[in-house]
Structure 1
């Protein structure tokens, strides 16, 4: 699973040393690391959505977008819920790419075209990687924690 690492910690201004910034930073790191386990221990909307995005993202980065889509379809929360989670963090570009890739893969799966599946895996993975979802999610989490902190435990 992705670790928040320097992305979230470094996203705050290093010149801002106030306790509010340190608390916000620590809260964001805590929320991210809690969700990085793949499932949320909290039933709050933000925690659940973050866990779903991180789980899908981990599969997309590691196994490719096609494999991540297949995996999401086989999980208890499914692809629709993963897409909704991406959209809840305003990751619409990534959600649109996932949706278009899924729609395209449906035809490929029907034809059982192995070569087309391999092409989709390569092109979808490259397109997904170019979106820098982790950086976008890091920023979106910071905003959500400020605007809707009650969505997180």
Structure 2
């Protein structure tokens, strides 16, 4: 990680935020001009409202598998992952960084535990295609695979289950 990337990560808030309206996790955005905001992640961008950030500890978080994007219900797994920078948009300067453990559903957890990352990528694609009833665009497939490679490089512990 470069010094600039480390500096950008150091400016991210310690607290996570969720949307008060839809209870989904929000992405922290820091633009090249220094402005900061909380926005819906891409999968929630079309929810029909602007994000209303509240602290994740006090707001009700509606969980989702960080790998296949399905809603989490009772069986939730977590994969410890060190903070990492996924990229910086060269046009806007917006960074996409990840920190904290990654949540996994009961269908993705065994694939992660067995180190079957190609099967996990296929599952992510399959779930997306079932939800949208069209083939996944190639740029999304490539993005999922790249992000999963970054996650693999930054795993900091063993998969564990939370009831």
TM-score, normalised via structure 1 length: 0.25
Structure (1 or 2) with the greater helix fraction: 1
